[in-house]
Structure 1
Amino acid sequence: MKVAIVQTALIQGQVAENMQIIQDALTEAASANPDVIVLPELWNTSFLPENVYEIADVDGKETRALLSSFAKNNHVNIVGGSVANIREDALFNTVFVYDRDGSEIASYDKAHLFSPAGEDDYFAAGKDSVTFELDGVTCGVVTCYDLRFPEWVRELALADAQVVFVPAAWPATRNVHWDILNRARAIENQMYVVAVNSVGLVNPKGDVYGGHSVIIDPWGSYIVEPDDDHEIKVGEIDFDVIDGIRSKINVFNDRRPDIYDI
């Protein structure tokens, strides 16, 4: 599976400009002929303008139209990062996933909201973990702060996910945590992790996104290395690696669910 990840700069609160940035990035990513394109978190509004509710995508209408059309026209799967999405008058941080035919095959509302930045003051929390198939491969998705909750990612592993996508808006000040947590989730669940972050300014206060978008294999090795450049990054996922590590050290065979419950 060839994966293209979009590590790009966004503009806080400027939806039309961000939509154009993502359209251009999708076009550039598609030129690499990937099987899957992955976008970062909250790419329509960036993180986190005060008027996010007013400028959010109602029922994801604009987002869904863009991603569905692009996926179909380019015959590519898209894990659509996440957007600020209003549904039934509540605001959600939602990932939409599309297959090569442009069909929406999954959506996921971020479950763990980042209270230190007041995300929970704006957004409603999702309640359901989500898996889906891309080209016959079981995949899952979590969003940014979800990464800090290993039991949430383990649920996806127990549902046979071989790849977990992690769209994020993660600050550079915590890049060490980002790098370690992504590798830990890959190692402990013996799966691939595809983690996609933005770069550039978060807000006028001067906070900066950390970049460091990566593809990590089940051994914890980088298939795509972390950096903070504005770029499309491409890597190949080899599912034989999962079989190889599980034939040597299969942690799932040695789990003790009789003595703990996640």
Structure 2
Amino acid sequence: MEDIELKISLLQTEPTFKDINLAAGKIQNLAAKAVSQKKRPNILVAPRIFSTQHINTSFDPTVELLKNTAARCRTTVISFDVFNKVYAADPNGNIIASCTKSCEAKDETMVFSVDGVCCGIAPISNLKFPEAIKQSAALGAKVLFVLGAWPKSKEIYWKLLNIVRAIENQFFIVALNQFE
């Protein structure tokens, strides 16, 4: 495999079930801490931040938080919303890629570039479907970011599927799971 030079910080936190402002504050604090490090990351990855139980289905604040965090930190930020769609926002706060659970939508951009490295994104259950993951490899991804919400009881499957998909597609996988 070729040399890949990315600095990635995983912003691991539990979802907040009732207080959206608390959840947003947690992510913003973790992001600010990550970008203040000597080896500043060029990619931040956050798990699902809010619970679906307390979100109005017509508006999900996750996407705005993602864009604002990317712009404030001047780095690429990857996360997924309460509807299980993964997004990547560039350092200017623009959405540069998105992918639904099945990645069947033809107008979605599943790959993007960070410092010359082609990256892909995949949500939750796409690990179960090799053809969904192969789409990112076919588009040139060298690194795939997989965001999950797998239950703790299926942790072994989460780990194994990430390993298998990395081997099958000959790319690196950066996986962040929010155990439920």
Same fold (TM over 0.5): yes
Shift of 1:136: 2.1
**1: distance between equivalents of 2:160 and 2:125?**
13
1:199-238 maps to which residues of 2 (within 5 A)?
209=179
Task: Report how many aligned residue pairs link the two structures.
Answer: 171
SS at match of 1:193: strand
Shift of 1:18: 1.7
CA RMSD of superposed structures (Å) = 2.2
Shift of 1:173: 0.7
Equivalent residue, structure 1, for 2:90: 99
**2: distance between equivalents of 1:64 and 1:137?**
23
Shift of 1:161: 0.7
Equivalent residue, structure 1, for 2:42: 35
**1: distance between equivalents of 2:58 and 2:80?**
11
**2: distance between equivalents of 1:13 and 1:149?**
33
**2: distance between equivalents of 1:173 and 1:65?**
32
**2: distance between equivalents of 1:27 and 1:57?**
29
Does structure 2 retain, via aligned residues, the 8 Å contact 1:164–1:192? Answer: yes
Shift of 1:3: 0.6
Give 1:107's aligned amino acid.
Answer: S
Equivalent residue, structure 2, for 1:194: 174
SS at match of 2:41: coil
Does structure 1 retain, via aligned residues, the 8 Å contact 2:32–2:73? Answer: no
SS at match of 1:142: strand
Equivalent residue, structure 1, for 2:3: none
Shift of 1:147: 1.0
**1:199-245 CA deviation, whole Å, 9 max, x = no partner?**
xxxxxxxxxx27xxxxxxxxxxxxxxxxxxxxxxxxxxxxxxxxxxx
Q: Which runs of 4+ in 1 moved over 6 A?
A: none
Bigger RCO (CA 8 Å, 6+ sep): 1
Equivalent residue, structure 2, for 1:127: 105
Equivalent residue, structure 2, for 1:254: none
**2: distance between equivalents of 1:13 and 1:180?**
33
Q: Which moved more, 1:131-140 or 1:184-193?
A: 131-140
SS at match of 2:140: coil
CA change 1:108–1:63 in 2 (3 A) is same
Listed as ranges, the gaps of 5+ residues in structure 2 are 1-5
Larger radius of gyration: 1
Shift of 1:144: 1.3
Q: TM-score, normalised by structure 1?
A: 0.59
Listed as ranges, the gaps of 5+ residues in structure 1 are 85-91, 113-125, 199-208, 211-262
Q: Equivalent pairs: percent with the same residue?
A: 31
**1:9-56 CA deviation, whole Å, 9 max, x = no partner?**
12234423222222222222222310100111x3222xx53x55x3x4
Give 1:83's aligned amino acid.
Answer: D
Does structure 1 retain, via aligned residues, the 8 Å contact 2:7–2:42? Answer: yes
Equivalent in 31, 44, 68 of residue 50 of structure 2: 44
Shift of 1:57: 6.4
Give 2:97's aligned amino acid.
Answer: A
Equivalent residue, structure 2, for 1:161: 141
Give 2:72's aligned amino acid.
Answer: N
**1:73-104 CA deviation, whole Å, 9 max, x = no partner?**
3221111x1112xxxxxxx4222211122222
